[in-house]
Amino acid sequence: MDSRARPPVPVLLPPTHLPGWALPRGRTPDELDAAFAAGIALKTLDDLVRAEPVWAGCWRARQALACAVAAVRLAGRGEDEAALRDAALLTAPGDDPGPAGKLFLAFGKLAGRKGAITSKFVA
């Protein structure tokens, strides 16, 4: 074949536990230690996502779907994940996906957005 070989993609694995310096020493963990550990976990997740691994797009799409389900429930509607996917993906181009489908599509646009989210984009 004439195709070029792709360079290997580095695989970044998240740490399986907190680093040793983050663990409390000589005392039992309290609420402050739990908050500190949560901050470290969020920072680790942020670093992992900003590294743009191969699976980031799929992960963002799943997060968008979960957020859309939560927003639909807060709006008092009863659609679940499958109904949201169906409303958005099985609707013919140009047809109205309905209120729940529009929420799902909006979260999908937010998940695919790179850089800052401006007020113009939100409008």
Residue 11 lies in a domain: no
**Residue 98 resides in a domain:** yes
> What is the domain count for the chain?
1
Answer whether residue 78 is part of any domain.
Answer: yes
Polymer length in residues for the chain: 123
Q: What angle do CA 110, 113, 116 make, to 5 degrees?
A: 100
In terms of Cα–Cα distance, which of 83, 116, 74 is closest to 101? 83
Q: In this structure, is residue 30 part of a structural domain?
A: no
CA-CA distance, 91 to 107, in Å (whole number)?
17
Domain that holds residue 81: 56-122
Please check whether residue 10 lies inside any domain of the structure: no
Give the Cα separation of 31 and 93 in Å (integer): 51
| Domain assignment of residue 18, yes or no | no
Hey, what's the torsion of the CAs at 15, 19, 23, 29, to 10 degrees?
-10
Full pLDDT tens readout for the chain, 123 residues: 455 655 655 555 555 566 677 767 777 778 888 888 888 888 888 888 888 888 888 888 898 899 899 989 998 988 888 888 888 888 888 888 888 888 888 888 888 777 677 788 777
